[in-house]
Structure 1
């Protein structure tokens, strides 16, 4: 119930938290960034202004009397971050002009056109979050039956999400070749679109934005997702097993069984939450046409064998030594569990929980 409700809220909140850096063409111009930080312990400390895409330091200064100033020249417009602590930071567009930031009000830079627009969008989204919070409390008071509450809230959240996505498309059309447009592409609002919608939006970008590394990588991921859609052939993944020996997904696919493939990591709570379901299927169907294979991704090699042992996993595991497994399948979130047929075609993606169990059981009955 709350998952869906606050997923919709998350579209609004997280979008400005994980913005990646971008650049746009232009002649070198001067900038001044003036800021305040309420934490007196920051006085005397050197702080940095960094790009989001690679955390590259662009400038540094020293905090004095709870204030700081960055000055320099810029020939590109970049989404950046000034960071003093986990609770004192600011996101801004580094562009020519005088920019003002408050590290206690992280998404409200002001003073230049793109920063004013960035702040306007952020403020409207924060405002909408409060409206949604109040609406949910209203629904909780109105609908005492949990099933009816779920139904009514999901309907409201769905409609709101649709309107937010449409608004995002309109905003992008207005900023399809600048730093604000770049922010919109890397927001959770964009992530909530279907791959087809994402691709259409990206292809409508201006020449600079379309040529950026992050947009090119996103387009490549969407292409790989399309290539590995349900009904498409699987892509082989090579790596090491828990004993350090070479192992491949092709060692299991095409051998007569359906193969249930689980992309997971030790730090991923939901991934580990699916282990009991996978264990249940492995135990019930390992001799009845099903092979379960785990692919360990986005994690350190030293965590591999440890996590497998902790979870009591007895089915095959592949450590993604090259770090490309999720790229092959256009995966942007884990767990990602998919079922592959004996002929190597992908039957289903995005399998979880009871839905996964029923899908496997029904498939094996055919």
Structure 2
């Protein structure tokens, strides 16, 4: 017969009670954690509405799309009914989106709340249309105010530059005035972008300001700004691409050797930039496309340079980017372009030379060294004349 320890029954009951209480507490804790995670998830996912008028008869019954600015893919669609459209959906992290509706176009930040986007309203200054931004939520209101402010000043500057081309002042005076206009514009818009970034160092509006600043500032000027950006911004593929572009920009700055790439000639045969650059002549290279309004503005200036210096002391070459040869050839005929062209280069020049917009006009020395970048207007003419003077 086994011997019972004194009080063993009471001890067993106590132990059983303690285990039961522990299990209950553990179960309750698990429920609390699950509940907390569910509530967090519910808070993280938010509902958004993007709506507005669209009375264009050609768009009635048509489907319009929303495209992610950061990752160009269609994320939502909506039908235009009774002169209106409405996108609805859920968003975890606010993102920048573009809305395409035939000839109408708008841009907004997708975040919690109702966003009003008038695709037909034209914010104008000096007769130029400005991108339609969304209003109605905190980030959108700030984004819209920034966009309209900067675009207004930019288009005013463009109109002033156009007027300068028509004035009878000498070229040196025009070049000086052009530079003054550009400097004045940058002195206003760069601090504005920086001011907004300081309030948004780790969200999608902060990303937008970094993207715009990277088009205006040198690599050395951009690095201190990038070091202030939070982990979300730095994780975005577009920001990593900006960093890579800035590095390429540094590698192809003034004084560096040209970087070669291949396209096609007018007959579809392989043709390289090195067929023109680094062959004993100064070479002016214009990166352009048919759809680029600024590129068209520079054509008369390049034409004047080509007629004065082309095939003698200077080689002039056009490099068509991001379009097929058929489209480029149409533009050549429309604009009466007579200098040689490098066709179908795609986006290679952007990546290799670190620029983000066109026109981009560069001047190369006879051995292929980059003399100057970002040339335009009367400043372009002045630079060529200065380099070629006896």
1:170 corresponds to 2:185: no
Change (3 A) 1:45 1:234: closer
What does residue range 194-273 of structure 1 map to in structure 2 within 5 Å? Answer: 194-267=218-291, 268-273=295-300
Change (3 A) 1:207 1:313: same
> How many residue pairs were aligned?
319
2:303–2:337 Cα contact (<8 Å) kept: no
1:224–1:327 Cα contact (<8 Å) kept: yes
What do you get for the CA RMSD once the two structures are aligned? Answer: 4.1
CA distance in 1, matches of 2:256, 2:296: 29
CA distance in 2, matches of 1:165, 1:217: 21
Paired residue for 2:113? 98
Change (3 A) 1:179 1:152: same
Secondary structure in 1 aligned to 2:245? helix
Q: What's the CA shift for 1:245?
A: 2.3
Q: What's the CA shift for 1:179?
A: 1.4
| Cα deviation code 1:245-300 (max 9, x no counterpart) | 222222333433222323233343124323422422444xx34x433333222322
1:318 corresponds to 2:333: no
Q: What's the CA shift for 1:67?
A: 5.7
1:280 corresponds to 2:295: no
Paired residue for 2:323? 299
1:340 corresponds to 2:364: yes
CA distance in 1, matches of 2:323, 2:380: 24
1:277–1:353 Cα contact (<8 Å) kept: no
Change (3 A) 1:320 1:223: farther
Change (3 A) 1:192 1:249: closer
Secondary structure in 1 aligned to 2:256? coil
Change (3 A) 1:68 1:160: closer
Change (3 A) 1:220 1:274: farther
Secondary structure in 2 aligned to 1:31? strand
TM-score calculated relative to the size of structure 1: 0.69
Change (3 A) 1:355 1:53: same
Structure 1 gaps of 5+ residues are 1-24, 137-145
Q: What's the CA shift for 1:86?
A: 4.4
Q: What's the CA shift for 1:46?
A: 4.4
Change (3 A) 1:248 1:176: same
Paired residue for 1:78? 95
1:107 corresponds to 2:133: yes
Change (3 A) 1:40 1:203: same
1:265–1:271 Cα contact (<8 Å) kept: no
Q: Which moved more, 1:301-310 or 1:220-229?
A: 301-310
CA distance in 2, matches of 1:70, 1:242: 45
2:320–2:328 Cα contact (<8 Å) kept: yes
1:259–1:339 Cα contact (<8 Å) kept: yes
CA distance in 1, matches of 2:180, 2:209: 25
Structure number with bigger Rg: 2
Secondary structure in 2 aligned to 1:274? helix
Q: What's the CA shift for 1:215?
A: 1.4
CA distance in 2, matches of 1:211, 1:48: 26
Q: Which moved more, 1:57-66 or 1:228-237?
A: 57-66
CA distance in 2, matches of 1:227, 1:37: 48
CA distance in 2, matches of 1:340, 1:153: 23
| Cα deviation code 1:326-366 (max 9, x no counterpart) | 32112233333322223321122233455444433443446
Change (3 A) 1:26 1:348: farther
Q: What's the CA shift for 1:178?
A: 0.4
1:223–1:330 Cα contact (<8 Å) kept: yes
Q: Which moved more, 1:27-36 or 1:114-123?
A: 114-123
Q: What's the CA shift for 1:68?
A: 5.4
Change (3 A) 1:292 1:36: closer
Name the structure, 1 or 2, with higher relative contact order (CA <8 Å, separation 6+). 1
Q: What's the CA shift for 1:191?
A: 3.5
Paired residue for 1:20? none
1:60 corresponds to 2:77: yes
Secondary structure in 2 aligned to 1:32? strand
2:219–2:247 Cα contact (<8 Å) kept: no
